[in-house]
Chains A and B, each alone.
Chain A
């Protein structure tokens, strides 16, 4: 078998696969996208209202509400981990953001005079520096998400606990903390800059809902990070073979902590955006969203065993779930069917992938 170094080699097994059997079109993301296109066509005939601008905006806004968190959880899934705490983090970050905003916008509260002063009429509250309140409160919300991510990452990467158990515990801890800090009532943003928050989260720019624009930007960033940076390569390597990654000098512990932090930050941001649109952060906000988020990632082709996944798949998964929900509403189907159908789609998407790899 020892061929001389310069001898030309030919391979009979190369170039035999049809284009549709290799690359993107053969991936789970590819045919879920195909299914999505088919669904759009069907819905267009089924309901004249479906492709209207209003409905499309509605769909875009709704899937953006879970898609940013899905991007985050996709990082975790690529490394072979799981994060069940995203729903709780969404709620807690949103709650902290609005509580901090309320606190520092209320003259007389400790520290509040750095941010606001009273107008001469003694009633109107005026911000000392426009935007500062919003910035500080959003950073506070993301800050608690960061802490949750660090704790998750530390327990999993350093202490070696199982991701499932760690984040299941964190789901409960963070949700519980949310009830504690708000006394079970939740909170809502108030003060002179609450309107900024509302505008930034439920506004429409060039006909597109603001959350959708954030999503697109973050997805592009994520695609670049995953495929064109050393960090991204390390994420795939850790998910593909953690042992080999460690023996290659990849800082496995650091990579793992980083992806749990990224996931928690994405969930925190998502929570803040949702609360801006809702106008409040109720204590039961985003309950069980972690399941939708994980379902969307998996439908889009992220492999729970690690090693595969990407931003496009995450988004495609979210869009599919939302279009089905929207379609069922337009078709006036009992909305309780939605959950059943989502389950069927999760299994079907993974099943098709299984059948394909068995045929190949």
Chain B
């Protein structure tokens, strides 16, 4: 395994005023899985884009198979066998799988018309799909595939160009637990065939289970390298943030109070034949776990009034509430922090100030005129309370990092009076430091008497942050775990629809 396949040495990349990469060295051996970790903004994506030929480094050399390159183009990188499975998958939903795999290098049938040879392309894609264990065909429209399946298409594309290195940037951020396991199997298979994988992820558990070696970046520098036998969560986190992270769980300051939100017999449009029963007390953080597609987001959307409620009742503090629209829900103090902050949480072109006050605007308006002074004060208060890192509240939300954008979304709701808050994947794609700030914030909200439902697919988060965990399976709640029953094993069993082995205290 010592044969070096490619080597990046002394790579630097400076943008005006920012040093994104500073003398980074990286070596990839044949048939190894290299974990690349670091907080957001540490330079992982920039480094990979240098390797894939998307951006040009300011200094440094890329050595591949004995050749030195000062920079690469996308075409050169592809010819060298480097394939990139992007975080946002770059597929054409309106085309079928085979067309996507061969996009830009379509096989042509002979003859003067240069017609595309669809049969040939499909025949070539079929064995790749079989190898990946995919259960769709080359003629399936990508539009009909799930995110995990689309990822398989991207990997098939990489295999079709005889890739020697496949870069995967946060490949599991939208996958379910079982899909993640499937992907890790595929990675093991790629490795067995001598293909190297550079695996970028925030999920340290996955890194632990698949990486042969881990390189840690911080502030654009390589700060450490861990061999397989040195890997541990603590070691990785210490290198990533340069300090030890405290245990995630902070117990509530006071016992959960009566009252809160009771969801009884609720039917959502995603699962019209299932009923959901769920209670969350004031002062409590209820983790809502389950596989992606188990109906967690549909439940949140129904309670928030986005999707119609097909049945059942929602009570807050034992008073039934009607939620026909998000406006109704907001009036009742039910808020939703949505899953995809860029697409559904923020208006990116508007400044922080206007994003924060967007929901509460009319409360501060007199004769329909917005009170600018009050608006600015609210935004500044929230920026201070949430420690949003920005030079002023007048800068556009688009310029902020993921963690700070999420805080702006939170600021929008915290400037009003929440009673029940749904957080849908609140820390997806957010760096470790900002994550712990968001956990602390959820806890302090709970301590102020807010009932909190946290939807999360991140097992560490579910187990580390929640006071209780409810697990959903195919549209209904399959079980609720108390803290002494918390374990990955128990959550997983409920998530795939099994009952707990004994409903007594399970081994941690």
A interface residue numbers (CB < 8 A to B): 1-3, 5, 9, 11-14, 16, 224, 228-231, 233-234, 236-237, 240-241, 243-251, 307-308
Contact = CB atoms under 8 A, between A and B. Distances in A.
A244 B345 contact: yes
Interface stretch (B74-82, B178-186, B432-440, B487-495): B432-440
B391 A14 contact: yes
Interface residues of B, number: 45
Given A236-B350, A244-B346, A11 B391 contact: yes
11 contacts: A1-B41, A1-B431, A1-B434, A3-B387, A5-B387, A14-B391, A230-B361, A241-B343, A241-B344, A243-B343, A247-B338
B17 interface: yes
Most buried by B among A1, A240, A241: A1
Interface stretch (B127-135, B144-152, B156-164, B364-372): B364-372
Contacts, number: 96
A247 B342 CA distance: 12
A245 B361 CA distance: 13
Given A228-B372, A229-B368, A247-B338, A2 B436 contact: yes
Given A233-B358, A247-B306, A307 B349 contact: yes
Nearest to B345: A244
Most buried by A among B325, B348, B362: B362
Contacts of B370: 228-230, 233
A355 B403 CA distance: 31
B354 interface: yes
B30 interface: no
Contacts of A228: 369-370, 372
B330 interface: yes
A152 B115 CA distance: 44
**Per DSSP, are chain B's interface residues mostly helix, strand or loop, or mixed?**
mixed
Interface string B330-353: 100000101000011111111000
Rank and list the top 8 A-B pairs by shortest CB-CB distance, nearest first: A1-B433, A240-B347, A2-B433, A14-B391, A249-B330, A11-B391, A241-B347, A249-B327
A228 B391 CA distance: 24
Interface string B255-268: 00000000000000
A243 B350 contact: no
A244 B344 contact: yes
Interface string B287-305: 0000000000000000010
A249 B359 contact: yes
B343 A244 contact: yes
A307 B351 CA distance: 12
Interface in B397-446: 403, 412, 431-434, 436-437
Contacts of B18: 13
B389 interface: yes
Contact of A247 (B241, B345, B392): B345
Contacts of A5: 384, 387
A9 B383 CA distance: 13
Contact of A241 (B326, B346, B387, B437): B346
A9 B336 contact: no
Interface in B200-232: none
Contacts of A246: 306, 326
Given A16-B17, A228-B372, A9 B389 contact: yes
B344 A247 contact: yes
B39 interface: yes
Most buried by A among B304, B348, B349, B412: B349
Contacts of B358: 233, 237, 245, 248, 250
A14 B18 CA distance: 13
A247 B387 CA distance: 24
A248 B391 contact: no
A243 B348 contact: no
B437 A2 contact: yes
B391 A240 contact: no
Nearest to A10: B391
Contacts of B403: 1
A248 B433 CA distance: 27
Contacts of B304: 247
Contacts of A241: 343-344, 346-348
A290 B358 CA distance: 32
A233 B345 contact: no
A233 B349 contact: no
Given A231-B368, A244-B345, 11 more contacts: A1-B241, A1-B431, A1-B432, A228-B372, A233-B358, A244-B346, A247-B336, A247-B344, A248-B358, A249-B359, A307-B347
A230 B365 contact: yes
Nearest to A4: B387
Contact of A248 (B41, B348, B359): B359
Nearest to B371: A228
Given A240-B348, A240-B349, A248 B436 contact: no
Contact of B347 (A3, A11, A231, A237): A237
Contacts of A243: 343-344
B348 to A, nearest CB: 7
Given A1-B431, A247-B306, A251-B327, A230 B362 contact: yes
A1 B391 contact: no
Contacts of B349: 236, 240, 307-308
A18 to B, nearest CB: 13
B17 A13 contact: yes
Given A2-B434, A13-B17, A245 B347 contact: yes
A286 to B, nearest CB: 32
